[in-house]
Amino acid sequence: SHVLGTAGSSLYRYTSFSGSSGTLLGSPAIPDPAGATADRLLAYTILGGHALLAVQSIGDSHVSLYDATDPANPIYLASGRNVTGTIASNGNGTGELAWGDVTANPDGSFSETLYAMSSNQGIQAFVVVVPEPSGLALAGLAALALCWRRRS
């Protein structure tokens, strides 16, 4: 009943739908501390009970992770980039982000692989880990930033 999408800027649209009627709920800026570098590709998941939004730049291929508990006000958690050297231009502005299967780890944490492809710039994979629930007590979701791991 809700859709997140971009149209080539570092803003995204957060919309709800009921039947054939849609309502724009917000157009938040993507709060990338590295600055807006064509942040465009989006993927949303619920991991360990936490709403996460991954956003990839079609400019330099970096991937950022946000707490999307309130999709109209995303909170930056972490970012990473597995590509090295000079990358080709993504003139088409195309690509895809996809979340893999969720794994419940023996220590009570949850992990999920995030696959990121920006056309002409390669494919990346990241393992995103949400600590076990008691580890989030007062620290909130900021703890997720410490658990963003790269996979080569």
In angstroms, the Cα distances linking 73 to 4, 25, 111 are 12, 11, 24
What percentage of the chain reaches a pLDDT higher than 70? 83
More confident residue, 145 or 57: 57
The whole-angstrom separation of Cα 63 and Cα 61 is 6
- C-alpha distances (whole Å) from 31 to each of 19, 55, 85 are 31, 10, 26
Residue 87 tokens, joined: 């990358």
What was the pLDDT predicted at 140?
Answer: 38
Segment 35-66, tens digit of pLDDT: 766 888 889 999 988 899 998 888 888 899 99
DSSP of 115-143, one letter per residue?
Answer: EEEETTS-EEEEEEEE--GGGGTTTGGGG
Helical H segments across the chain, by residue range: none
Name the CA radius of gyration of the chain, rounded: 15
- Greater confidence (4 vs 120) lies with 120
Give the per-residue pLDDT at 138. Answer: 33
Q: Binning pLDDT at 50, 70 and 90, where does residue 8 land?
A: low
